[in-house]
Amino acid sequence: MDRYIELWVESLPQLLLAAAQVTIPLTIIAFVLSLVIGLFSTAARNLGRFNPLNWLATTYVWIFRGTPLLVQLFLVFYGLPRVGITLDTWSAAIIALSLNTGAYVAETFRSAYASIPRGQFEAARTLNFTRAQTLRHVVIPQATRIALPPLGNDLIDLVKGTSLVSVISMVDLFQSGKQVAARTFEPLAMYLEVAAIYLVIFTLLSIGQQYLEKRTSRYVRTANA
Amino acid sequence: MLSVKNLSKSFDGNTILRDISLDVAAGETTVILGPSGSGKSTLLRCLNLLETPELGQLSIEGDTVDFGTDLTDEQVRTIRQHSAMVFQNFNLFPHLTAQQNVALAPVLNGKKSKAEAKKLAGQLLAKVGLEHKADAYPDNLSGGQQQRVAIARALAVAPDYLLFDEPTSALDPELEAEVIQVLMGLAAEKRSLVVVTHNMAFARRVADRIIFLDGGTVAYNGAPAGFFASDHARIQRFLQIFEMTDYKI
């Protein structure tokens, strides 16, 4: 046990550095991009049934939800060079992760939008709001509250998904732990430590999510209030 | 003056309104009655262009639209300016307080500054007896209170005509009375009200004119006295339902 504690203390700075340099920035960049992608996809999928942008967004979501992230990452990093597009590891990771998460976020936004009752739109129309005003003052405040829990899921999936970038030789939290494990011949100790750090990140995000949910739900009387 | 000419509306080949023509005078309370499916709600929603009729003409206070061709946003907004709708299910914005619900439209329509709209909202909430609930969210209000906030919200856009789509059908009798009192107050002020309702006491006592729809056509259009004394078979059958005289227990 003493040997484990010694190992953990010794390797912790290296793992935290990998998390701070790769796992966390990659998560933040990819999540911000996926929110943008999700917004545009949702807007496109609310266009007319015969609008090509609608088809494009629907096809995008279909493909990226329907194939594994690992396959997408390999296609972007190892596949694209065959058609003349060679990307460095960071770009490939950001593209694959944000496109993948973007597809899930698009579904989250679509369901949040769909859950706004028709009466809300009718009330806005009779009060002569423009479409933009209806979106800004009626739909988005309510949809945000509904989207938060599934959006939290999307974000947490993304954090864990970043561990796959180790296969394109990025030294993220997981890859860093793997290196130490190989050097010390202590896989159990190291992967437990890696798992614990992911768990800490997850816990911090959950607390943030709870705070946001509380803030956006002030107007709702809950059953146990 | 609100005037409808030769209005027709169908949903998926199902004709709801057939060639309806009628006038609603300003300053009067017009009550629209009729059995379920007779088209009364659809007619009311056509006045506010929540539904777009296929054929006919609608004019409100000098602005006229002809249906049959697509309407421009400009046309829709112009016609809509003249009226405001109160819904059966209130449709308040749940994320806004009572006061914010009332104050939002005047600000977004560019008619009032935020401070003016807030003041107006306070006055209108007082008018419906809810000044003490200004900061409450709809979820914390009773149905009757929510509907009164919805009436204040409709009044805030200063409409020429107030349209009520079964405003008390989702309420129990005591809460219904709260809302009916507000409606009676508005009628006494000679506001122009168009009310779809099943409340016969209200129709009898407050209406200046009753329009009875049956199967998408106007079966009666005139004074309440004549309606309640009508010997028209369909109207008698309709009224008997409320008297419960044709039930055997």
Nearest beta carbon to residue B109 from set A122, A123, A128: A128
A221 lies in some domain: no
CB contact under 8 A, A122 and B139: no
- Collect all residues of chain A within an 8 Å Cβ-Cβ radius of residue B94: 142, 219-220
Q: What is the pLDDT of residues A21-32, one digit of tens each?
A: 999 999 999 999
- Collect all residues of chain B within an 8 Å Cβ-Cβ radius of residue A219: 94-96, 137-139
Q: What is the pLDDT of residues B222-233, one digit of tens each?
A: 999 999 999 898
Q: What is the pLDDT of residues B51-75, one digit of tens each?
A: 999 999 999 999 999 998 889 999 9
CB contact under 8 A, B108 and A125: no
pLDDT at B240: 86
Burial of B32 (0-12, 13-18, 19+ CB in 10 A): buried
Tell me the β-bridge partners of B212.
B33, B220
Q: Which residues contact B204 (CB under 8 A, 6 or more apart)?
A: B224, B228
Contact (Cβ atoms closer than 8 angstroms) between residue A26 and residue A172 = yes
Of B87, B76, B249, B58, nearest to B165 by C-alpha is B87
A72 lies in some domain: yes
Q: Which residues contact B73 (CB under 8 A, 6 or more apart)?
A: none
Q: What is the pLDDT of residues A104-133, one digit of tens each?
A: 999 999 999 999 999 999 999 999 999 999
Q: Residue A36: enclosing H or E segment and its boundaries?
A: helix A24-45
Q: What is the pLDDT of residues A60-69, one digit of tens each?
A: 999 999 999 9
Matching CATH number, B11-82+160-249, of 3.40.50.300, 3.30.565.10, 3.40.50.960, 3.30.1280.10: 3.40.50.300
Of B25, B93, B2, B40, nearest to A142 by C-alpha is B93
Contact (Cβ atoms closer than 8 angstroms) between residue B139 and residue A220 = yes
How far is the alpha carbon of A115 from chain B, nearest alpha carbon, in Å?
14
Q: What is the pLDDT of residues A44-59, one digit of tens each?
A: 998 888 999 999 999 9
Integer Cα distance of B171 and B180 in angstroms: 11
Say whether residue B237 is in contact with chain A using an 8 A CB cutoff: no
What is the band of A225 on the pLDDT scale with cuts at 50, 70, 90?
very low
Q: What is the CATH number of the domain that holds A182?
A: 1.10.3720.10
A225 lies in some domain: no
Number of structural domains (chain A) is: 1
Neighbour count for residue B108 (Cβ, 10 Å):
22
CA dihedral over B165, B53, B159, B74, signed as positive or negative: positive
Residue-number span of the structural domain to which A19 is assigned: 2-216
Mean pLDDT of chain B: 93
pLDDT at A220: 86
Q: What is the pLDDT of residues A181-211, one digit of tens each?
A: 999 999 999 999 999 999 999 999 999 999 9
> Which residues of chain B are in CATH 3.40.50.300 domains?
11-82+160-249
pLDDT at A176: 95
At B66, phi and psi to the nearest 5? Answer: -105, 130
Tell me the β-bridge partners of B196.
B32, B165
Contact (Cβ atoms closer than 8 angstroms) between residue A123 and residue A195 = no
Say whether residue A121 is in contact with chain B using an 8 A CB cutoff: no
- HEC readout, chain B: CEEEEEEEEEECCEEEEEEEEEEECCCCEEEEECCCCCCHHHHHHHHCCCCCCCEEEEEECCEEEECCCCCCHHHHHHHHCCEEEECCCCCCCCCCCHHHHHHHHHHHCCCCCHHHHHHHHHHHHHHCCCHHHCCCCHHHCCHHHHHHHHHHHHHCCCCCEEEEECCCCCCCHHHHHHHHHHHHHHHHCCCEEEEECCCHHHHHHHCCEEEEEECCEEEEEECHHHHHCCCCHHHHHHHHHHHCCCCCC
What is the band of A97 on the pLDDT scale with cuts at 50, 70, 90?
very high
Contact (Cβ atoms closer than 8 angstroms) between residue A8 and residue A170 = no
- A50 vs A225, more confident: A50
Mutation target among A127, A136, A139, A221 for the B interface, most CBs of B within 10 A: A127
How far is the alpha carbon of A223 from chain B, nearest alpha carbon, in Å?
12
- DSSP single-letter state for residue A217: T
Contact (Cβ atoms closer than 8 angstroms) between residue A27 and residue A160 = no
A187 lies in some domain: yes
Report residues of chain B scoring pLDDT below 70.
245-249
How far is the alpha carbon of B162 from chain A, nearest alpha carbon, in Å?
11
- Report the amino acid identity of residue B125: L
pLDDT at A2: 83
Strands B192-196 and B29-33, sheet pairing: parallel
Of A127, A219, A188, nearest to B150 by C-alpha is A127
At A66, phi and psi to the nearest 5? Answer: -95, -5
